[in-house]
Amino acid sequence: MSNWVEVCATDEIDEEDVIRFDHEGKTFAVYRSPDDRFFATDGLCTHEKIHLADGLVMDDIIECPKHNGRFNYKTGEAKGAPSAST
């Protein structure tokens, strides 16, 4: 189990919310879904280098705080402009 990295306690993330987690020079976004499961993605939006953890989580979707690019944080799928066409 030595490869496990502690991110936070589960109660540090609200349901349907996200926090930022930085580790070894990389930044991540860690999510707690409405059905109480945990997910992690790259911390930065694909459109511009913006921290997704500042964005809004609604259901399974994280919206970039800058331009509302939308991603499904469970699958990584882009759900709308500006992320989809770039």
Residues 67-76 as b/e (b if ≥16 CB within 10 A, e otherwise) read: eebbbebbee
Q: How far is the CB of 60 from another protein (least distance, A)?
A: 15
The region of 3-11, 27-35, 52-60, 70-78 touching another protein under the rule CB under 8 A is 52-60
Beta carbons within 10 angstroms of residue 19's beta carbon: 15
77/21 Cα distance (integer angstroms) = 21
The answer to whether residue 85 forms part of the interface with another protein (CB under 8 A) is yes
Q: Is 50 in the site for another protein (CB under 8 A)?
A: yes
20 near another protein, rule: CB under 8 A: no
